Chains A and B, each alone.
Chain A
C-alpha cells in the first residue's frame, strides 16, 4: 500500500513538474536568439535580474523594464541630463533588466491583469504585436509626445510600432536600415585594382544585374575554390524583406489583409538566389545565416566578400572581426528595377508607456525626449551604436563624421553618408503583426531550406506549401 502511495505521489509530482518545468526551462533559455540576432551584440540577454535606480530621489518616480542592461544605462544617463535641464520636473527612474522571455511574459501578464506593469517598458519587435493588441487600453499613444520630432523621424520605423488604430505606441531605438557590405580590401587584392577603383565600381552598381556583373568579374579574377561573392540565408528572411521593400510588397498583409507569401518579389529573389547557387556565385551561409560564429569566420576567411545586412551588423565587425578594420565599405543595396526603394528597416525594440502609469504624461514626454531628441540620439549612437531614427542628425557633421566613433573609423566610408544617400523615404517598412512569427518560422525552418539547400527545388511548390501552412493559422 505504501509503495502505491509513493508511486502515485511520484507520478503526480512528475506530472505537475512537467508544467512547471516548461516554464522553468523557457526562462532558463534566456534570450530568443532569433530576436537577439536582430539586435546588436550588446543586446544579448542578461541571465540575471539587475535593478538600478538613477536620477533625483526627490523627483517623480518611474519604473522601467528592459531585457538589455545597456538600454537601462541609456535611460539612466538620460534621466540625469533631463534633471539638469528640467529642475522643476525632476525624475527618478528604476530600471530593471530581466531575461528576454521573462520580461515579455511578465509585461503581458501585468497588462492583462490591469496591475503591476511598469511606467515604461522595452518591447522587442517580434513581441510587439502581442503587446500592441491592447491598443490604448494598455498603452499610451505617443503621437502628441513625439510630435516635435516626427518631421525628421524615419517614418517607416515609426510605423513599425503603430497599432491597428494608427497610433504610434512604441519609440524606436534604431532604423536597422539594410545596406550592402563589401570587402574592398579583398576585392582590390584579387582584382589587381586600387581601392578607389573598386569603390568606383561598387558605387556604379545600381541593379542586381550590375551587382552580378561585378561579382562575376571578381570571381573570375580570384579563381579559387571555396570563394563566393555572397552568401544566402536559410535561417533568416532579411533578403526577402529587402526584395519586398524594393517592390513595395508586404507578405503579412498588414492589419487588414490576409498574409500572402506567393509574391513576385519573393519569387524573383529566390529565383535569383537559386541561379547564384547553381553557378557558384553564392553559397548557403554556414549554419543558416551570417550573423553566427561560422558566418563571422567565413567573412574573416574572405570566402564571401559582400552581403546585405542591417546597419546594426556594424557592431558584429567591431566586436568579433576586429582584424577586418579598414577592409569594408558600406553601400546602397542593389534593386531589381531602377527607381525602387533600396533599403528596409530590420529588427528593433520599441519602448512603450503603459496606461497603468501614474505619471503617464511625464513618462511619455521623457521617453520621447530620451529616444528622439538630438541629445538622446547622440547617446544612442555613441553607446549602443545604432543608426538613429532622427534623420536631422544624419547630416550633422559633428555627429555623423566624428572620427572618434568606432564605426566611423572601422569602415572605409562614413555609415551615415550611406544613409543620407539612401534617404529616409527610401527605407521600406517591415510590418509586424500577429501572423509574422508564423511566416518567419515556416520560411526559416522549411521553405528556405528546401529551395536553397536544393537549388533545383520548385519555388512555386515551396511557396505553396508555406502558404498552406500559414493559411491554417489565419
Chain B
C-alpha cells in the first residue's frame, strides 16, 4: 500500500520523473565539472599529481598563444552573433509571410547543411579555400581580376572562411528557431494592427520583434556558447590544430592542444575553467540586460 501511495503522491511523482535526468546530470556533467576545477590546480603527471595552487592560472596570464586563442574565439563569437541572428530572423519572417513560394523547399535547403558532418564540410571548405590556383575561391577572385590569395594564411581571410562555414551551417537551424517563435504569435495581434492601420514595417518592429524576444534570447544564449566553444570547424579547415600564426586557434582548440596533444591535463583544465567563466559572464550579462531574471509580470 505504501508503495502505491508513494507512486500516487502528487508531491513525490515529479521528483521520480526527474531522477534519471538528475543522475545523469550529476554523473556526466556535475562530477566532471568539479573534477576539472580541482584538476586545474594540479600538475597532472603520469604516476602522481601534485597540487600547485594557482600556477596554471598564473601561466595562462603570461601565455601569448592562449591570449590569441581567446581573442580569436571572442571575435568569432561576435561575428557569428552579428550574422546568425538578424539574417535567420529575416529569412524566418519572409518564410512566414506570403511573399515566398515553395516554403518547404527553402526550409529543407537551408536546414540541410546542419545535417552534414563538420568533418566532411570542413574538409570541403578547406579545399575551396586552398591557396592553390584551382581552389574555388581563387578561381572566383581570379575570374574577377582580383588575383589569388593565400586564404588560410592571413588573419582576415581565415576568419572569413570560418564565418562562411558557420553561416552555411547554422542559418537554417536558427531560422527554424525563429519560425517556431513566429508560429506562437497570435495572428489576432496582426489583425488588430491592420485595423489600426499599421504598416508592414510597423508590424514587424512593434509586434513581431517584441514577441519574438524569448526566442531571440534563447538563440543569443546558445550562440554565445557555440561561438566560444567552436573547435571542430577550425580543426578541419586547417587540417589539424596548427594554423599559420595561430589565426584559427580557438579556446577549445588550445585546450585540445594542451590536454590531448601535450598531455598536460592540469593546464588544459585551467583553460576550460577560464572558458567557462568567460561564457558565464557574457551570458549572465546578456540575460540580465534582456530581463530574463526579472520576476514574471503576470
Contact = CB atoms under 8 A, between A and B. Distances in A.
B177 to A, nearest CB: 15
B55 interface: no
Q: Which of B36, B135, B260 has the most CB of A within 10 A?
A: B260
A86 interface: no
Interface in B69-108: none
Interface residues of A, number: 62
Interface string B233-265: 001100111111110010010011101111100
B280 interface: yes
B119 A30 contact: yes
A133 B256 contact: no
A16 B21 CA distance: 14
Given A22-B252, A25-B252, A287-B130, A13 B242 contact: no
A453 B240 contact: no
Nearest to B287: A7
- Residue of B29, B150, B280 most packed against chain A (CB within 10 A): B29
Given A16-B29, A134-B46, A445-B242, A7 B261 contact: no
Nearest to A100: B260
A14 B283 contact: yes
B6 interface: no
Contacts of A112: 46-47
Contacts of A25: 229, 231-232, 252, 256
B293 A33 contact: no
Interface stretch (A269-277, A292-300, A327-335): A292-300
B295 interface: yes
Contacts of B296: 2-3
Size band of the B side of the interface? Answer: 35 or more
Nearest to A127: B263
Nearest to B49: A112
Contacts of A1: 295
A26 interface: yes
B275 interface: yes
B131 A287 contact: yes
Interface string A344-386: 0000000000000000000000000000000000000000000
B141 interface: no
B119 A28 contact: yes
- The residue in A34, A129, A137, A441 that gathers the most chain B C-beta atoms within 10 A of its C-beta is A441
Given A13-B29, A15-B33, A29-B235, A444 B242 contact: yes
A28 B132 contact: no
B279 interface: yes
A406 interface: no
B216 to A, nearest CB: 15
Contacts of A19: 29, 32-33, 36, 272, 276
A142 B126 CA distance: 42
B23 interface: no
A453 B153 contact: yes
Interface string B23-56: 0010011101100100000000111000000000
B139 interface: no
B116 interface: no
B28 A20 contact: yes
Interface in B187-243: 221-222, 225, 229, 231-232, 235-236, 239-243
A472 B64 CA distance: 11
Nearest to B33: A16
Contacts of A234: 244
B292 interface: yes
A17 B29 contact: yes
A288 interface: yes
A172 B102 CA distance: 60
B244 A288 contact: yes
Contacts of A293: 127, 130
A449 B153 contact: yes
A139 to B, nearest CB: 11
A129 B62 CA distance: 26
Interface string A108-120: 1001100000000
B225 A7 contact: no
B2 to A, nearest CB: 31
A444 B242 CA distance: 7
A65 B276 CA distance: 34
Interface in B104-133: 118-119, 126-127, 130-132
B134 interface: yes
A437 B241 contact: no
Given A137-B47, A294-B135, A13 B231 contact: no
Nearest to A444: B242
A104 interface: yes
B255 A22 contact: yes
B279 to A, nearest CB: 6
Contact of B256 (A26, A235, A438): A26
B152 A287 contact: yes
A47 B236 CA distance: 14
B30 A14 contact: no
Contacts of B240: 32-34, 37
Nearest to B246: A445
B260 to A, nearest CB: 5
A253 interface: no
Interface of A: 1-4, 7, 10-11, 13-22, 25-26, 28-30, 32-34, 37, 47, 101, 104-105, 108, 111-112, 126-127, 129-130, 133-134, 137-138, 234-235, 286-288, 292-294, 297-298, 434, 437-438, 441, 444-446, 449, 453, 469, 472
Given A16-B33, A19-B32, A21-B229, 10 more contacts: A7-B287, A19-B33, A25-B232, A37-B239, A112-B47, A134-B47, A287-B126, A287-B239, A434-B262, A469-B65
7 contacts: A16-B30, A18-B229, A104-B260, A286-B132, A293-B127, A445-B242, A445-B249
